[in-house]
Structures are given as structure tokens and as C-alpha cells.
Structure 1
Amino acid sequence: MLARLLLACSCLLALAGAAWGDTCTLVTELDTGRVVKREGDCERRNSPASTFKVPLSLMGYDAGILKDEDEPAWPYRPEYKSWNEAWRKTTTPRSWLKDSVLWYSHVLTRELGEDRFKRYVEAFGYGNRDVSGDRGKANGLTRAWLSASSLQISPVEQIAFLSRLLKRKLPISGKAREMALAIMPAFPLPDGWTAYGKTGTGFQPLQNGTFDRSRQFGWFIGWAQKGERKILFARLIRDERKENFVASFRARDSLLADLPALLAE
């Protein structure tokens, strides 16, 4: 039944896909590096948006700020001014990733501090490693990874980062790695596979350095696992026109619909 629903979803999304504009899909085997699927411009860099919560979680656990799946449970405060009502509640590391809570990221990066934050991004070799933030505003600690700000990463680089994470090649403790993996959102797939992934969305940049609220971008990155086999994936959508449905959810739902056929290859 699940397989039929996924197939139906895939067909519907394929019909809508022509409106999405520039879309990259990159799927590779973790152990061998074999490219299962590569389509679109996967070298072009883009803001990571909320996919940056993956490296942020590693930083938080390695630094000892994040303790486990449920601690710290930080309360929402009115000064956070969250536009999303779902974020206006006490948040834990697990619900932070599940609900993609922006203010929790800001509390975490402030706890890390600017120097330590920069050192982690550099040590991870993450994208262009530029955490300066919005041009001329010195706000990298809370803005660098969002929409048209300074930190940029390509789908190819997202896959490389995930590969280093899963192969234990990042300069973090084993405990930090395991705790970060434990809070990754999970998505069951047919035939015993499970996908683990993170969405990210924002607005595309304009030439003047601001962003265009009429055109979104959307990520879904992660891996699918069955036993010891792992398949890495990244999908990035850049809209050509205004779309009402969140771009990251389109990236996630369309890739989850495509994965069963790709995993069977």
C-alpha cells in the first residue's frame, strides 16, 4: 500500500516539476561512491538554510551544549518573535530538528560563540566556509546560513559532508556523532529501507544582496539505510516563479517518492 501511495505521489509531482526551474538531484552509494543518479546543476552553491542544522547539531553535541535527545529543553521567549506558531513552545534537540526551529539554532550558536562557531565550520570543510553573515551587518553568528547570506554549499558538497559524517571523518567525538544521528528525522520506505534527512528552505538572492520573496529554494539532504548499506542523497529546487507550497517540502516529498525505484537499481 505504501509503495502504491509513493508511486502515485511521484507521478503527481513529476507533472508539477516543470514549474520548479533549476533542480539538482544527486544520489550516491556511501561505500563505493557510485553515482546512482545525477541530474541538473549540482555544482552551483546555494544557502544551506535549515540543512545547516545537521552540522550545528554536531557542533552542539561536541561542545557539550546539547546533552542528549531531550536536553537542553529551552523555553520559548517572546523576544524570539517566531513567525511560526509551532515554534512557540519549549524545544528539545529532537524537536528542534523535527520542527526546524530557528530560534533554537540562534540560542545554540550564541552559546558556541563566534570563534568556536567559525572553527567548527572551517574544520568541517563546510561549503565556502564563509560565516561573516549579511553584507556589512556582522551578523554571521545568527544569519550566515540563511537565504542570501554568506555561507554557501553545493549539492556535491552536501554529499561530501554527509559522507565524512557517516564515515566518521569529521573532527568530533564519537558520542557527538551518535547523538546527532539519533535526532535526525526518519522516514520509512518500502522493502526495509529508512531515509534520514533534513529539509531547508529560503528565498533566492537578488543582485543587490537581498532576497526575492517571490522565488523560493528548497533542499532535502540525507541518506537511506537498509542494514549496512547506505545511499546518500541531495535534492535542491530553485523556483522560477512564485509557488505556494514550501519548496523544501516539495524537495522532500518528491525525493522520498523517487527513492524506492532508485534504491532498487
Structure 2
Amino acid sequence: MNRRNLVLFALAAGFAQVSMANPQFQEMTKWSRFFSAADARGSIVVLDTRDGSDITMVYNVSRAEKRYSPASTFKIPHSLFALDAGLLHDEFQVIPWDGVKRPTTAWNAGQTLRSAMRNSTVWVYERFAKELGEARETAYMHKIGYGNALVTGDKPFWVEGDLAISSFEQIAFLQRLYRNQLPFQVEHQRLVKDVMINEAGSDWILRAKTGWTGKIGWWVGWVEWPSGPVFFALNIDTPNRLGDLAKRQSITRNLLRSINALPTVP
């Protein structure tokens, strides 16, 4: 099977899987106001499990079902792959800098898993990809049912290549991670969740990861509450490139605050 047919086959199979996997949801057309206020086009899926409710709310359903490059949101499963393969042993291990100067100052130093996640350090994960190899990367993605599991196309494959995942699939993956239900050691899943922490209060924790391909921006994660987590997966177009990146979090935060899933800024 040539590459083009392989890609088409994987996409067709994947879309069928997405359609079957999508839960019942509420279409939230009123959430258009959050996107309009930010002058952005995109979609969001929110799964609210507080008090056992399990309510899935979606703005722009057709887009939420469509697969896009995961960009740096792939660092979440990629970190699990690296830990499982023994490329990383804990959060303290330093990944040596190769001495190549890069535009992002924070990347020009040795990294730990925590700093690599916080700084979204691309070269760290490019090194993981090289050490894992395409066959193991593919096997890991099939093992967890991650998007279309393709490593073909330009590199890095999770930004420039053919790998793609939908917002619904992002939510399904995050749920399994939250519950330690992925086929990895529980301590590895707990470690990855720990390095995903963005901020926290006395009774809540926000764990999330951004992503950007240059054209599409993501913010995915969840807010933990004593009554249960609220998961979210947003993606937007970024025609203004860097000028649009702050919209990923501002839209999501405002929307989550509207359903009391994130505290209001004092």
C-alpha cells in the first residue's frame, strides 16, 4: 500500500471510530459569544463530570469531530512513551542541551520533564522521537488509540506531519489519563499529570497543555474539583499567528468561568 492510500485508509478508519465513540452531547450555540468576543473561529468540547453528571457540551460540532494536527498537545502522550521506554526515569533527570541556539531562550539549556512541558521544548521531544523510532511511536499510539496514529509526512510528525486527532478524541484520552487507565505504569501517569499543572487553588487544580501548528491553536486539559473534573479541548484558527495565541486560553477560561468550572479572577 503506498503512502497516499495508507493515509486515506487510516483517516477513513479513524473517522468511523470517532463517529462511534462520540457520546451524546449538548450543542452549545450560545457559546459562539466567547469566540466572537475574541474574533476567533474554532470549537470546544467540555465534559463536566462534577457530581456524577457526565455532561458533554460542544460548540461547533462539525469542527470538534474533525481531526487536526495535535501540535504540542502531543507532548502529553509523548512523555508517557518516553517514560515507558526508559528514555526518562523521573522528573529530575536532566536532558542535556545539544548546544544549538534556538529562538526561544528557555530552550537553550538542559531540560527536565517539567521544564520541557512548561516551556514546550520542541528539541526534547524531537530527541525522544528519534530514540523511539517510527515503529515504536506508531505502536504506542495504536496501543492508546491516539487519533490516526500516523508518523508519516514532514517532521516533527505531530506538528508538520500527518498525525491528527479530534477534540472528542482529546477528551477521551484525557479522561483515561485522569483515571490512570492508560496502559502505562500508574506512577508514570501520575508524573505526567503533575507536570501538566498550570495553576491551582485551595480546592481546584488546572492541568493543561497548549499546542500550535502555526495555523491551528489548541488548549486541552481539565480542572479538578472535589466534586469531579471538568475536561476541555479547544482549537482555533490562528491567522494572525502569534497575535492569536493568547485567545486559546482567554476563550477557554471565560467559558469555563461561565459554568463555574474555573474560579473568577479576583
Q: Determine if the TM-score, normalized by the shorter chain, exceeds 0.5.
A: yes
Segment of structure 1 superposing worse, 227-236 or 121-130: 227-236
Q: Percent identity?
A: 31
Q: CA RMSD in A?
A: 2.3
**Following the alignment from structure 2 to structure 1, what is the Cα–Cα distance between the partners of residues 116 and 219?**
16
CA drift at 1:93? 0.3
CA drift at 1:83? 2.5
Which residue of the partner structure matches residue 26 of structure 1? 45
Q: In structure 1, give the amino acid aligned to 2:163.
A: L
Which residue of the partner structure matches residue 112 of structure 2? 92
Q: In structure 2, give the amino acid aligned to 1:242.
A: N
Corresponding position: 1:150 with 2:140: no
Whether the aligned pair in 2 keeps the contact of 1:82 and 1:103 (CA below 8 Å) is no
Q: Could you tell me which runs of 5 or more consecutive residues in structure 2 were left unpaired when the two chains were aligned.
A: 1-32
**Following the alignment from structure 1 to structure 2, what is the Cα–Cα distance between the partners of residues 253 and 166?**
23
Whether the aligned pair in 2 keeps the contact of 1:221 and 1:234 (CA below 8 Å) is yes
CA drift at 1:242? 2.6
Which residue of the partner structure matches residue 253 of structure 2? 256
**Following the alignment from structure 1 to structure 2, what is the Cα–Cα distance between the partners of residues 103 and 243?**
21
Partner of 2:64: helix, strand, or coil? coil
Aligned CA distance change for structure 1 residues 96 and 246 (closer, same or farther; 3 Å): farther
Cα distance per residue 1:113-147 (max 9 Å; x no partner): 2222111011111011111232xxxx5xxx11004
Partner of 1:113: helix, strand, or coil? helix
Q: In structure 1, give the amino acid aligned to 2:46.
A: V
Corresponding position: 1:75 with 2:86: no
CA drift at 1:258? 2.6
Which residue of the partner structure matches residue 61 of structure 1? 83
Partner of 2:130: helix, strand, or coil? helix
Whether the aligned pair in 2 keeps the contact of 1:61 and 1:180 (CA below 8 Å) is no
After superposition, where does 1:1-265 map in structure 2 within 5 Å? 16-18=37-39, 20-21=40-41, 23-30=42-49, 32-35=53-56, 37-40=57-60, 41-71=63-93, 73-79=94-100, 81-134=101-154, 139=155, 143-147=156-160, 149-188=161-200, 192-203=203-214, 216-227=215-226, 229-239=228-238, 241-247=239-245, 249-263=246-260
Partner of 1:78: helix, strand, or coil? coil
Runs of 4+ deviating beyond 3 Å: 12-16, 30-33
CA drift at 1:238? 1.1
**Following the alignment from structure 2 to structure 1, what is the Cα–Cα distance between the partners of residues 91 and 185?**
16
CA drift at 1:243? 4.5
Q: In structure 2, give the amino acid aligned to 1:187.
A: E
Q: How many residues align?
A: 226
Whether the aligned pair in 2 keeps the contact of 1:69 and 1:182 (CA below 8 Å) is no
**Following the alignment from structure 1 to structure 2, what is the Cα–Cα distance between the partners of residues 32 and 183?**
28
Aligned CA distance change for structure 1 residues 13 and 262 (closer, same or farther; 3 Å): closer
Cα distance per residue 1:22-49 (max 9 Å; x no partner): x1111003465321x3101211111000
Partner of 1:67: helix, strand, or coil? coil
CA drift at 1:110? 1.9
Whether the aligned pair in 1 keeps the contact of 2:222 and 2:229 (CA below 8 Å) is yes
Aligned CA distance change for structure 1 residues 170 and 264 (closer, same or farther; 3 Å): closer
